[in-house]
Structure 1
Amino acid sequence: MPVIDARHLTAISETALLTLHQRATEAARADGVIDDPMAIALRDSLGYDYHHFGRTHQATALRALAFDIASRRYLDMHPRAIVVALAEGLQTSFWRLDNGQINWLSVDLEPIVQLRQELLPSSDRLQHLAQSVLDHSWMDRVDATDGVLITAEGLFQYLERDAVFDLIATCAERFPGGRLIFDSVPRFLSTYSQRRGIRLSRQYTAPPMPFSFTAAQYDELRAIPGVRGVYEIEMPTGRGIFLARTASFVYRSRRLERFRAPTNVVEFG
C-alpha cells in the first residue's frame, strides 16, 4: 500500500484514525484479542503521528469483536444479506465478516470514503456512498430482499438524541426483519466529555459525546413502532484474568446497567 497523508482528518473524522490505531496495535500483539491484519496494513499505509493519541488499550478491539459476534449471528441466518455500515470510518469489518455472499454498503463522509477507496482492496460486493448518515436517502440504495444488517460502531454517541431516535425509527419502518447494532456510552461519561473533554494525551482530547444510552433505557427503544426486540451483546473476554473477571461481573449485573457502555442490538419486526 502507498503511504497517504491523513493529517487532514479532524474532529469526529479523526476518531477513525484513533480506533484504527487501537485495533491495529492490538492485532499486532502476539497475545492480541483480535485477528485483523488488514487493520495493521491500513494503519501503516497512512501518514500520521499515532503517538498523538497517547497510550493504547484493548477496549476498541473488544468492541469490534462484539460487533463481529452480533453480525455473524444475523449473517448465519441471512448469508446473502446487505450490511450497511454507517460512518464506519477506517473499520475493516468487511474482511473479517465476509462469507463470500454478503453485500456491503459503507456510508461515510467524503474524506473517509476517499481514503477507503484509495487504500483498501476493492470488491464488487463492497460499495461506498459519500454522504452524511443523517441524510436518510442512503436507504434508497438498500436492497432488503435477502436481509438488512445496519451497524453504527462508534457513531451514535457523537450525535444528538433526536437524530439517533429518528434514524432508528426510520430504519424500523423501512427494513422490517432487519437488525441494527450500535454501541453507546453511559450518562456520566457523556456529561464529562461535554464539560471537560476526555483527554487521551497532552496533544489529543476526544470530541464531546452528547448522546448517552444504556441497557436500563431499552424500553425507550421498544416503544418505537416497528421495533420487535432490544438486547445487549455480552462483552468478549479480554486479555488478563483481572479484566476478564471484572468485565464479566460488570456486564452481568443488572444493577450496573446504567454505568456500562453496552453494545446494543435492535430487531425490526
Structure 2
Amino acid sequence: MKYKIEKNTVQETLIIPLYARKVCLELYPNLYRDETAVRLIDEIDYDFSEVEKNSRSPMQRFGSLEVAMRQNDLAFEVRDYLKSHPNAAVVNLGCGLDSTGRSCDNGSCKIYNLDFPDVIAVRNELLPAGEREENIPCDLNNTEWFRKIDSSNGAVFFASGVFYYFLTEQVKALVQQMADAFPGSVLVFDAANRTAVKMIAKTWLKSAKIQDVGAYFAVSDAPQEISAWDSRLQVTSRGYMLGYTDLKDPSVSGFFRFLARVGDGMMKMQIVKIRFGGKQ
C-alpha cells in the first residue's frame, strides 16, 4: 500500500523539497546522493505530474542544485562535529522528510528529528525512527523540546530552509536559549540577506498573508550581526553554493556556476555555524 497524500494539505508541502532532492540526484549524481528520497517518492501515492513538469525549467534546475549544495554543506558540518564528538546528539530542526541525520550516522551518535506534530505523523509512517533515533513532534519556538535531547556527549543542531520563516526576534531568542541549555554544542543553518529573503518570500507571502517581510530573519554579515546577540556565540559563515565545493563538475553549466557566485556574493546565501561557548 502506498501512502496517499492529498493536494492542498500540510502534508503536500513535504513533497516539493523531497522531489527536489530526487531531481538533484538525477541531475547531479557526482555531487549529491539521496537514495531515501527516491525510495519515498516510490512509496507515496501522489500526482507528481505538475511537480515533474515544473522541475524541468532552468531556474527550477538551479533550485535543485541549491538544495543539493545546502544538504551537502550541512551534512559536512554534522560529520565534522562527530569527528570530535562521536557519541553526540544529531538534531534536525524542522526535519520534514529529510534523512540527513541517518546519512551522517557514525554508528554511535543519537539522532533526533523535530517538526510540527502533523509532519511527524507523516514521518512516522514513511520514515519511522530507527535505532538510536527519535522523531519528536514540537514547535521549535517552544523550548520544551530541549528536555528530550541528550546532549551529555555534545550536540550538533542543523536547520535546512527553516529560519527564513521565523521572525528575527524568534531566531535570536531560540539561539540565546540554546546557548543556555547546550554549552559547547554547535548550530548550523542556511541564511541569506534581505534581498534574497524577499525573493524567497514571494512563494509563501500570499498563502501566509504576511505583511512585513522586513521582520523575517535575514543576515548579510552573519559573524558580525549574530555575534552581537550574545557574547557566548562564536559565529562563522561560508557561501553555501561555492563555500564547500567549486562546482567544477560536468553536470553543472558555466551559467549555473555564475548564478552560484551571484547567490553567495550579492544574495549572501551562506551556511552559518554558531558554536555555543562553554565546555563540551
The two structures have a TM-score, normalised by structure 2, of: 0.81
Superposed CA deviations along residues 214-265 of structure 1, whole A, max 9, x for unmatched, are 342432211233534111232434442515743674577xxx3x62221111
- The match for 2:82 is 75
- The match for 1:267 is 275
Moved over 4 A (4+): 205-210, 247-252
* Structure 2: 5+ residue stretches without partners: none
Which of 27, 44, 56 is residue 42 of structure 2 equivalent to?
Answer: 44
- The match for 1:202 is none
**CA distance in structure 2 between the aligned counterparts of 1:155 and 1:87, rounded to whole angstroms:** 6
Say how many residue pairs are matched: 256
Contact 2:263 2:269 in 1 (8 A): no
Change (3 A) 1:69 1:19: same
Which of 136, 146, 161 is residue 129 of structure 1 equivalent to?
Answer: 136
Which amino acid in 1 is paired with 2:178? C
Which amino acid in 1 is paired with 2:71? A
The two structures have a TM-score, normalised by structure 1, of: 0.84
Stretch of structure 1 that moved more, 28-37 or 66-75: 28-37
> Does residue 7 of structure 1 match 2:6?
yes
- Give the C-alpha shift of residue 192 in structure 1: 4.0
Equivalences for residues 161-172 of structure 1 within 5 A: 161-172=168-179
Taking every aligned residue pair, what percent have the same amino acid on both sides? 23
> Does residue 211 of structure 1 match 2:235?
no
- Give the C-alpha shift of residue 169 in structure 1: 0.8
Alignment RMSD (CA, Å): 2.6
- The match for 1:227 is 232
- The match for 1:18 is 16
Which amino acid in 2 is paired with 1:3? K
- Secondary structure of the equivalent of 1:172? helix
Change (3 A) 1:84 1:8: farther
- Secondary structure of the equivalent of 1:259? coil
- Secondary structure of the equivalent of 2:98? coil
* Structure 1: 5+ residue stretches without partners: 200-204
Contact 1:153 1:183 in 2 (8 A): yes
Contact 2:157 2:187 in 1 (8 A): yes
